[in-house]
């Protein structure tokens, strides 16, 4: 995935001179995870700029650049470092189109690693996507594979409004997949059906697609056919695809790494209750992280939902 992200940067910078990359160590070092490796050598220091260790400055620079015709792609080294930038994101980036009644837009992409699983210190394993999804005026995107990272990042850079692009840390180097560097973007605001099934719908996103697909393999052996939906765009939610699947299967399990309380899964469950209640044959189940700070080091994998927890939730929808 990390190579696919670098590839998408390169394509868009090659074909659009207004695209610039800024962030801590994105130039000479190619980013903390090497997602911008080689870009400064190809496009120069004017277009790939290392910034001070100041997230509010990075976000503020992005707003200024975007409102004057550039398309900044800003990297925040870890999601836990995003909080100083929220002032600029909430008060300026997300409001620019509304504030100027459409005279200005703010085509910013803020990329940041998302989630745990690499035994990093505090602030390095955050899954606080719900906070971002509650901000009107921005999109929130979280890819689950190299192919989707490439296509969705291209779409995010081309979008005229701000996009928060959350990159699952566990997937940076977890798999290899052939990615055609052809500049073909994937659509934003839609789900992707990763696997069709008829007995239960499982909605997930980001790194949790790995555990979900492993769980589905085991469920197959037990005679349960699961349809797996990758949410991909967390805000706005493509509820139509989810409702169509639930109408077919009658059961819904939502899997996410973020804390359970007021998570994106709760919003999906509420939307299904409002618009698809009579299609449900059992209560909606959520499999999520716990309502705590990500526990450091040895307990990290106990926090992240396991294959067994997903299987148990699916089987619970068939109980009684």
Residues designated as active site:
124
b (16+ CB within 10 A) / e for 79-117: bbbbbebbebbbebbbbbbeeeeeeeebbbbbbbbbbbb
Cβ–Cβ contacts within 10 Å for residue 141, how many?
A: 29
What residues have CB less than 8 Å from 144, skipping those under 6 apart? 168, 171, 194, 204, 205, 206, 207, 209, 230, 232
The number of residues making up the chain comes to 320
b (16+ CB within 10 A) / e for 297-307: eeebeebbbeb
CB 277 within 8 A of CB 270: no
Half-sphere exposure of 62 (CA within 13 A, CB side): 35
CB 8 within 8 A of CB 154: yes
Q: φ, ψ for residue 289 (rounded to 5)?
A: -65, 170
State both tokens at 238: 């493509």
> Which position has the token pair 């949790």?
208
């Amino acid at each position: 995935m990390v190579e696919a992200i670098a590839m998408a940067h390169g394509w868009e910078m090659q074909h659009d001179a207004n695209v610039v990359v800024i962030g801590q160590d994105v130039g000479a070092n190619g980013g903390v995870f090497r997602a911008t490796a080689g870009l400064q050598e190809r496009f120069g220091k004017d277009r790939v700029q290392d910034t001070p260790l100041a997230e509010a400055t990075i976000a503020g620079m992005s707003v200024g650049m975007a409102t004057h015709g550039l398309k900044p792609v800003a990297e925040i080294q870890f999601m836990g470092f995003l909080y100083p930038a929220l002032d600029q994101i909430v008060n300026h980036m997300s409001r620019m189109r509304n504030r100027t009644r459409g005279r200005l837009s703010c085509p910013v992409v803020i990329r940041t690693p998302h989630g745990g699983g690499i035994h990093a210190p505090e602030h390095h394993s955050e899954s606080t996507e719900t906070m971002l999804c509650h901000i009107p005026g921005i999109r929130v995107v979280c890819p689950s594979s190299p192919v989707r990272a490439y296509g969705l990042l291209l779409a995010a850079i081309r979008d005229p409004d701000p996009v928060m692009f959350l990159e699952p840390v566990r997937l940076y180097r977890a798999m290899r997949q052939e990615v055609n560097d052809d500049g073909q973007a994937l659509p934003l605001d839609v789900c992707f059906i990763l696997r069709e099934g008829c007995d239960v719908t499982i909605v997930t996103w980001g790194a949790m697609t790995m555990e979900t697909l492993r769980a589905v393999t085991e469920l197959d052996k037990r005679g349960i056919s699961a349809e797996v939906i990758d949410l991909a765009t967390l805000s706005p939610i493509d509820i139509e695809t989810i409702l169509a699947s639930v109408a077919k299967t009658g059961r819904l399990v939502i899997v996410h790494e973020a804390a359970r309380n007021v998570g994106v899964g709760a919003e999906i469950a509420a939307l299904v209750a409002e618009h698809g209640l009579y299609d449900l044959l059992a209560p909606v189940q959520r499999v999520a992280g716990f309502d705590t700070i990500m526990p450091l080091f040895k307990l990290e994998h106990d926090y992240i939902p396991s294959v067994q927890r997903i299987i148990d939730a699916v089987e619970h929808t068939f109980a009684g």
